[in-house]
Amino acid sequence: MKPITQIQLLGSEVLRRQAQPVDDFSSSEFHELLEEMQSAMLAEGGVGIAAPQLGVSLQVLIIASRPTPRYPRAPEMAPLVMVNPGFEVLNAEMRKDWEGCLSVPGIRALVPRYQSIDVRYRDVYGASQRLALRDFPARVFQHEFDHLLGLVYLDRVENNRDIISEAEFFNRVAVQGE
C-alpha cells in the first residue's frame, strides 16, 4: 500500500468502490496510512476522513469533531480511529443538516442522517470497541462510513435544491447567524 497524500476528488474510481476490511493491524503500511489520514484531515480542516479519500480502499475512518472554519459549531472530541466499522440505529429519527466533503470541494448539501447510533469497530490494535454517538459526531461517522460503501454525501440528498455552493452556504450562515 503506497501512501497517497492528495485527497481524491469526486469522479475518482476509488470513491465509488466498496472498501476492504483491514486484517493486518501491525503492518507499517497500516500505521503510515493512519498518520497520513490524520495529517490530511487536519491540513484540510476536516472533522473526519476515510481511507478511500486518500486512494486506499480499506475500511478505516477517523472522526474528529471540533470547531473549524468549515464547522464552527462542531463539538470537541478527540480524534478516533475506527477500523472495520459498522453501526446500528438507536433511534429511527432522521434529521437533515448541512454537510460538505473534502472530496467534493466547494459544495454543501442538506443530508438526512440518523441522530443516534451504536457503532462497533476495531481500534488501531484490532481490539473490538463499541460507542454510542449522537448528533454531529453521529453525522460525521455516517458520512465517513458512506465512503467505505462507495457512496458520497450527495448520494443521500433528497432534493437537488438542497445542494448549494459553499460560498452561498457561508453567506447564509453569516446572515442567519447559524
Write out pLDDT tens, residues 75-98.
999 999 999 999 999 999 999 999
Point out the annotated binding site for Fe cation.
101, 143, 147
Distance of alpha carbon 97 from alpha carbon 113, whole angstroms: 8
Res. 176 pLDDT band, cuts 50 70 90: low
Mean pLDDT of 165-171: 93
Write out pLDDT tens, residues 2-58.
444 699 999 999 999 999 999 999 999 999 999 999 999 999 999 999 999 999 999
- The reported pLDDT for the residue numbered 177 is 59
Mean pLDDT of 146-174: 95
> Does the pLDDT value for residue 174 go beyond 80?
no
- The reported pLDDT for the residue numbered 47 is 96
> Does the pLDDT value for residue 156 go beyond 70?
yes
- The reported pLDDT for the residue numbered 5 is 66
Residues with catalytic function: 144
Distance (Å) of CA 22 to CA 16, 60, 121, 122, 169: 18, 8, 11, 10, 37
Domains of the chain, CATH where assigned: 13-176 (3.90.45.10)
Q: To which residue does cell 486506499 refer?
A: 56
Please tell me the pTM assigned to this model: 0.94
Among 88, 87, 4, smallest CA distance to 40 is for: 4
Distance of alpha carbon 14 from alpha carbon 70, whole angstroms: 25
**Average pLDDT over all residues of the chain:** 94
Among 177, 162, 170, 172, smallest CA distance to 96 is for: 162
Mean pLDDT of 94-112: 97
